[in-house]
Structure formats: structure tokens, C-alpha cells
Structure 1
């Protein structure tokens, strides 16, 4: 669609979720509002959480067998607090470390944290990976897992591990800044097909969304939502979580995105 046709067109009736609030989103928001789309913004807010439970978990690392890092933000905030409390990354050497996703693995390796196991976000695949690593499901019984996460984050693999007889201790490594009620409302909209399109403009937004919305269930949650990613690295991060995404080229991303949205709405 030529630019002159876009300027005269309308996206009325389309509900779009912007997973972030950076400058690129501001430009996109202006255009979408001009075209009468309904916009919902999920801010990427990451505030330090120094709760007693979080600090206690770090002080008692010796009580855990495994630590699972489910996202880049969770790893970053945990490692930062680890240092603030006077610990070294080498203190994790006594534990087994699992990373969910290649980006999380890269973050940990850059921080010189050894990683024993890397798997994708699907709960079923996580369980398969642990069972294969340990030699069977029975070997999960009695193991202690630490899972740093966002304060309002959800996950389902913790329940699966607990069902296998493991003890799972999820601790808030940071505050995602979005209340449970708001996340639940957006989750219900997504699950019910009430959001037509989701837009990611940088990798950080993808990682935060994965942490907040239980990465292993994202394909199901977003089954009725078109996912648009601005740039190859963003698309790769979203695809790693099992999503079918539409890549928006980095050159002239706003106009390319608008064309993609019009194509989606008319399809």
C-alpha cells in the first residue's frame, strides 16, 4: 500500500498491544492513533526488588540443588543483587544451573556463570530436559529448585516439577511494575482473541513479556493474535519462545508495520 493511501486509510476496530514504551513505540503510537486503532500499552518497567525472601534465598544458596533462570531480566537482576550482597558468581558453582532460552544462556555465560542445562520455554520440554539430564523423572524427587522471576510473573513448569516431587522456591528478583490484576486482564483479552496484534520493538520487550506471561504458554496465549517484530534480532527472540512472528524490516519500520497491519486486518 503506497504511503498516500496509508495516510487516508483507517485501522478502526483493530486492538493493538504495544509491549513497551520506548521512543520507537511513541512514533508508532502516534500513527496508530491517527488511524483510529485502539491501543493498549504494557510498559516494560523493571525495578529492583530487595525483599527479605529474595535476600534470604541468596544467603542460603547452599540449600538448593538447582537454580533456573527463565529470562534475561531475571538473570540480570539476580546476579546484580548477588554482587550487592557481597557474593561472587563462583558461589553458584555448587549448584546446577538451568537457562531457559538461548538469550538467557548468553547472558549467563557473559557473566561467567556455568550453565549445566539449556532448554526452551515449553513446560513439557523443560521436564523432558531435566529427566534426560538426571536419568529419569524419579531423580527429581527431593531436589530443591530456586527460580528467580518478576514479582508478578507466572510459570507452569514449577507446578510440573512439584508434581514430580521436587521443592520449588520462586522468588521475586525484580518488580515488573505491572499489577497482577492488569496482567490478568490483558491475559484474558489475549486468550479470548480480544487483541488483534502485538508489537515488539526491541529484544528487551520480548524477554520481559516472556517472564511476565509464562513463556512456555505463549503460543497458546497468543494463538489468536498476530505478532509483529521490528528487526531480525527481535523476531529471533520471539520465535525462540515458539511464536509465529511477522518480521518488520529495520528500514522505515513504521511504514512497513502499517502496511503489515493493513494486510492483516484485510485478510
Structure 2
């Protein structure tokens, strides 16, 4: 995958963040609540919660909103019980897609996701049909600036246990194993690095190179899925056409 499209894929997966900020906060809040229910509200002892809070901060989520989500998960405020479901399928041009859902109504979510695929020329598949093409990794994105020395940062993160370091357009992309993600992220936080994003994600082993028309079709499907309140993340193995603009 070319460096250009690698960062473009990350941007495309996230959608138009500024326009969807309120929806993003709601989705991250659900992740925080689920992390608290599964591991408690103590940040020191709940690594998953620490990762969720770091993701929230990278998205500029206000601290009072983060605190409220933690209290909901802990039962201190009224909340909803969510179930996590992963849908798998193929989008236009045979693009493999994973749709991560947190929902309080499985039937509604299944209907919404299936309808989005059907109307976009894709189709849902059985569990396991595409997940084997992806690996769960940690991904930290840092915006480039004059104060950051690329070689020093690369050596630092590799010594911390990162798997890969890439310089791409206006950002540095740091990839870790799932197990090392928290350690690398927390070490960089302590040195006051600010993140464009910091999260566990699904990275494809191989990609499908798309032409401009198929790039637009796949992006429309991603946007449609992400518009659902139940959908947390959409992962794919599309490599968009270089001429494609969101």
C-alpha cells in the first residue's frame, strides 16, 4: 500500500470527523461505558478503559462527558446495556468489510446493517468470512511539526515495542501489537505527545485497489454505516484511487 493511500484510508475510515463530532462523542461514550462494566471504573486497573479514554481525548471529547460515560458504566447514572456484535461482508468491488456494533437492540442493528449493504451493491456474509483477512493492531497517529524529529521518534517508539513506524503525508503512523498498544501509547503520553488518533483497530493483510468510481461507492457505504448510532467502527481493505477526494 502506498504511503499516500495509507493515510487516506485512515481518514476515510474515520469519516468527516468535525461534522460528526457529536455522534463520535456518543459512540466513544458507549465504548467507555462498556469498558467500565467489564473491568471497573478504576483507570489504574482497567487497561481497556485507559485506551478508551485516550481515544476520547484524541477526539477532543470534554472531560465532563468522559466522566459522565464512566459513571453510566459504573451504574452511578442511568444507562443502557449494550451488546457488541461484529458483522462481516463484502462491499462494492469485493472490498472486505467488518462492522463493529454496540447495540441495545440486535434486530434493529442487523436490519440497518443489512439494508446498508444491500442498497450499496454489497452483501453480508457469515461470521469469519472476512475477519481472517485482518489483524487487530494498535495504531497511533501523530501530526508532524517542527518540534518532532522523525528519526528520534522512530527510534523511541521501536524501543518501546512498536512494530512499525511510517512517515506519511502530514502525520507519523505508529503500529503496535494489541498487547503493546497501551504501553507505547502511555509512554508517549508521558512525554506530552498529542495524538490525532490512538486506538485499537483492524488492519488488513492485503488491500483491494479501487478505481475512482468504486472508491466513491465504497465511501458511500462507509458513510451510510457510520451514520447509524449503533455502528462504532467500519474496517475495510479498500485502497482508494489517488484521485478520490471525500
- Indicate whether the TM-score tops 0.5: no
The structure whose RCO (Cα within 8 Å, separation 6+) is larger is 2
* Structure with the bigger percentage of strand: 2
TM-score normalized with structure 2 length: 0.29
| Higher percent of residues as helix | 1
